[in-house]
Amino acid sequence: MSSDKIIVTGGCGYLGSHTAVALINAGFNVVVIDDLRNSRADVLDGIARITGTRPEFVHCDCTDAATMAHAFDTHRDAVGVIHFAALKAVGESVAQPVLYYRNNLNALINVIDMMARYNIPNIVFSSSATVYGEPDILPVTEETPLQPATSPYGQTKVIGENIIRDFVRANENMHAVLLRYFNPIGAHPSAEIGELPNGVPNNLLPYLTQVAAGIRDHLNVFGDDYPTADGFCVRDYIDVNDLAAAHVAAVQYMIKTKKPIDVFNLGTGRGVSVMELINAFGRATGINIKYEIAPRRAGDVPEIWSNADRANKILGWRAETPLDETLANAWRWQTRVGKIIK
């Protein structure tokens, strides 16, 4: 067990809150920084009910350099930062690219500035499989060439990775792990925390659970004529609790090895089509989802899934939760939050 302090930006968000739980359960002292733009402060109550510990909370927009300096000064004894705080809606990023560049890049720059100023030596960066674009060969490994991102959101991940590479190159006592997430889904098994999308969900599973709950009439399945085994898009859906555990492993790995930089895919290594996911949800919950085939969604790649060997071998981490359990957790969370839509 470790009582090392970790700053988690975006710690009230979907991935951040599950990671805060995993860190606290592993003995870390967690400080959450969040501006609550896309999240709620009562997420901290959920974290406290699960772990018995309420993380210290700093209400701060990461692009606000002065408030960030105050927060990092107060927590200069931290050993690392996990930087989740970012905007992530692909369509919105196409409509408002400058908002995405300004927010996501200024926030990251402030975080690494503060790390250098207060000598906080470790960062985990939330990257995305979107950096692989439409890959020629599947599954993708970390060596798969990156392709031009299909959205400004994706560009902020590619640029963010490069900023961090240059930062650790120029600061020999700084270390980074870049984590490329595939498709995180599910919720904590306690149903105390989960995903709380703003308005109409963009992502598949929150939309699907809202259909199951009667909040939406039916699911639009974007495209049934892709060049895939069943004609539907294929993704690598990873349980959010497994994803959270990988962050703990990444922090421990950085503290131990002091390696300047490393990059890991976080996925299951298995591709699942939209239709397979709908059917798996039916098996896991007994609920048949009403759906309609809709046109393809602009920017969707036909199929992508990970080779997760590197994280398996080097971090000693593996995505373990069976898909039906993940889907049952997502449904339990949806029934708990009921018809609350922000």
- Interacting residue with ligand UD1 among 150, 190, 252, 312 (CB under 6 A): 150
Task: Please state, in angstroms and rounded to a whole number, the distance separating the CA atoms of residues 200 and 102.
Answer: 24
**What's the angle, vertex CA 69, arms to CA 68 and CA 70, rounded to 5?**
90
Total residue length of the chain: 342
> In the chain, at which residue ranges do the beta strands (DSSP E only) sit?
5-9, 29-34, 56-59, 80-83, 122-128, 175-181, 183-185, 219-222, 234-235, 237-239, 261-266, 272-273, 291-294
Instruction: Please state, in angstroms and rounded to a whole number, the distance separating the CA atoms of residues 319 and 312.
Output: 9
Query: Please, what is the minimum distance in Å from the beta carbon of residue 258 to ligand UD1?
Result: 29
Which residue in 106, 190, 202, 279 binds ligand UD1 (CB under 6 A)? 202
Q: Could you say whether residue 220 binds ligand UD1 (CB under 6 A)?
A: yes
Give the residue among 129, 2, 16 at the shortest CA–CA distance from 62.
Answer: 16
Minimum distance, C-beta of residue 91 to ligand UD1, in the bound complex (Å)? 9
Which amino acid is present at 287?
A: I
> Residue 204 interacts with ligand UD1 (CB under 6 A)?
yes
Selecting among 153, 181, 207, 253, the annotated active-site residue is 153
What part of residues 62-121 is at the interface with ligand UD1 (CB under 6 A)?
A: 88, 90
Whichever of 189 and 231 has its CB closer to ligand UD1, that residue is 231
Residue with nearest beta carbon to ligand UD1: 233
| Beta carbon nearer to ligand UD1, 188 or 235 | 235
Residues known to be catalytic: 153
List residues binding ligand UD1 (CB under 6 A).
88, 90, 128, 130, 150-151, 154, 183, 202-204, 207, 219-222, 233, 235, 274, 297, 299-301
